[in-house]
């Protein structure tokens, strides 16, 4: 992305329009430059755009925009949906995926195999212990831990993932230039510098306004293969995330607690609503049919050929026949078979009955 294109995107995102409204503008005009060069009459033809929105576009088109230092240095980047290869595939399930995401650090292909961990901001000692145990064991199985960077269970999950030398992604309810909560700024830097990522769909300097967090929760719900609720009161953001996950076709897992602990009421409600009761990471791995391969911890994949990278990106937790995989990545079947065998030897794929393969974490 050129410097001029980045400035145009920063200008567009600073409008604070909803994801759907931004996508409607981009669908009509192609890119941010097209939006800002459009006439007021053309803008008014976009469904859902108000007169105040038209005025805001015309006003900000002439304002100067500075590129934040982290973007200047390349420590952070802007990922564009449908354009950037690293844009997270799990978010495609959303009815309103963000047109762009700011990412401090780096995302990896393997981050599509993740568990979202959520819970109360004031956990008990039991809640902290459970979150640490689940996170550590899920990281050992090769899963990325996604959480919201908030105080409490979120913080415990991120720190436990780092201590286990696993991958973790924090999705914030503020801009990356206005990190919240402030006491976690060192944690966010550690996540980014360890090879993980701190992510936001909001403008760079966006404040942590209360309305942003429920909107952010849809990203947590969609990103994980499932959402694990460790400890949550009867009314909490964690329950919002869990119910969104269910709407998006993701699994919901809940850890039971004491019937006398109000912080367990939300988990018990979810269990009554058919969330899976789990008391170990093995329960989650079994429920999701995740194949794991014990090997030395590593922060990066082995060196792969281009064909192997394509096949790895096509493999999922559900068995897929070699013929279907070959068609998807555009390889002859015999070549795909040979490359899949190499992935199997590296512990990244597993051969299943009937000529099918699954991804191994």
Task: Say yes or no to pLDDT of 201 above 50.
Answer: yes
Domain C-terminal end among 230, 256, 287 = 287
Whether residue 244 sits in one domain with residue 157? yes
| CA torsion angle 247 252 255 258 (round to 10) | 30
Cβ–Cβ contacts within 10 Å for residue 162, how many?
20
- Quick check: 329 and 311 in contact, CB under 8 A? yes
Asked if the structure places residue 149 within a domain, the reply is: yes
3-state DSSP call for residue 168?
strand
Whether residue 169 sits in one domain with residue 276? yes
CATH classification of the domain holding 322: 1.10.10.10
pLDDT at 151: 96
Asked if the structure places residue 60 within a domain, the reply is: yes
- Residue 38, domain extent: 1-67
Highest mean pLDDT: which range of 105-119, 293-307, 345-359: 105-119
User: Hey, CA dihedral for 340, 344, 346, 349, is it positive or negative?
Assistant: positive
pLDDT band at 301 (very low <50, low <70, confident <90, very high): low
Asked if the structure places residue 82 within a domain, the reply is: no
> Is beta strand 100-105 parallel, antiparallel or unpaired with respect to 76-80?
antiparallel
Task: Say yes or no to pLDDT of 333 above 80.
Answer: yes
Whether residue 215 sits in one domain with residue 349? no
Whether residue 275 sits in one domain with residue 183? yes
Asked if the structure places residue 292 within a domain, the reply is: no
Asked if the structure places residue 293 within a domain, the reply is: no
Query: What does the block give as tokens for 29?
Result: 């005009």
Beta bridge partners of 168: 145
Whether residue 25 sits in one domain with residue 54? yes
3-state DSSP call for residue 321?
strand
What mean pLDDT is predicted for residues 120-128?
Answer: 94
CATH classification of the domain holding 130: 3.40.50.450
Asked if the structure places residue 81 within a domain, the reply is: no
Whether residue 109 sits in one domain with residue 38? no
**If you average pLDDT over every residue of the chain, what do you get?**
93
Q: 61: buried, middle or exposed (CB in 10 Å: 19+, 13-18, 0-12)?
A: middle
pLDDT at 297: 47
Whether residue 136 sits in one domain with residue 233? yes
Instruction: Name the residue with tokens 């281009």.
Output: 306
Q: State the chain's maximal CA–CA distance in angstroms.
A: 62
- Quick check: 325 and 105 in contact, CB under 8 A? no
Please give the tally of structural domains in the chain.
Answer: 3
Angle at Cα 110 formed by Cα 100 and Cα 139, nearest 5°? Answer: 115
Asked if the structure places residue 133 within a domain, the reply is: yes
Task: Say yes or no to pLDDT of 14 above 70.
Answer: yes
Q: 245-278 pLDDT, tens per residue?
A: 999 999 999 999 999 999 999 999 999 999 999 9
- Quick check: 292 and 361 in contact, CB under 8 A? yes
Q: 212-233 pLDDT, tens per residue?
A: 999 999 999 999 999 999 999 9
């Amino acid at each position: 992305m050129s410097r001029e294109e980045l400035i145009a995107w920063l200008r567009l995102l600073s409008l604070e329009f909803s994801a759907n409204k931004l996508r409607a503008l981009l669908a009509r005009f192609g890119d941010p430059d097209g939006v800002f060069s459009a006439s007021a009459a053309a803008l008014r033809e976009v469904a859902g755009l108000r007169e105040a929105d038209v005025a805001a576009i015309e006003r900000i088109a002439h304002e100067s925009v500075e590129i934040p230092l982290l973007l200047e240095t390349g420590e952070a980047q802007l990922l564009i949906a449908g354009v950037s290869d690293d844009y997270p595939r799990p978010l495609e399930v959303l009815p309103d995926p963000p047109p762009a995401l700011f990412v401090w650090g780096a995302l990896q292909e393997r981050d599509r195999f993740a568990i979202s961990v959520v819970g109360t901001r004031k956990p008990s000692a039991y809640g902290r212990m459970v979150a640490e145990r689940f996170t550590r064991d899920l990281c050992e199985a090769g899963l990325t831990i996604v959480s919201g960077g908030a105080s409490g269970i979120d913080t415990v999950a991120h720190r436990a993932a780092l201590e286990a030398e696993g991958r973790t992604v924090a999705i914030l309810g503020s801009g990356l230039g206005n990190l919240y909560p402030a006491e976690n700024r060192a944690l966010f830097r550690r996540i980014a510098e360890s090879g993980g990522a701190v992510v936001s769909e909001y403008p760079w300097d966006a404040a942590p306004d209360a309305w942003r967090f429920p909107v952010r929760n849809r990203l947590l719900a969609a990103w994980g293969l499932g959402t694990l609720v460790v400890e949550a009161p009867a009314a909490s953001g964690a329950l919002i995330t869990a119910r969104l996950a269910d709407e998006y076709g993701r699994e919901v897992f809940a850890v039971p607690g004491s019937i006398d602990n109000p912080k367990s009421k939300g988990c018990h409600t979810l269990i009554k609503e058919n969330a899976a009761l789990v008391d170990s990471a093995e329960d989650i791995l079994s429920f999701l049919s995740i194949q794991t391969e014990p090997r030395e911890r590593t922060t990066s994949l082995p060196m792969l050929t281009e064909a192997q990278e394509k096949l790895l990106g096509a493999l999922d937790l559900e068995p897929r026949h070699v013929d279907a995989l070959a068609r998807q990545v555009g390889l002859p079947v015999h070549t795909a078979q040979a490359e899949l065998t190499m992935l199997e030897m590296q512990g990244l794929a597993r051969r299943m009955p009937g000529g099918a393969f699954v991804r191994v974490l």
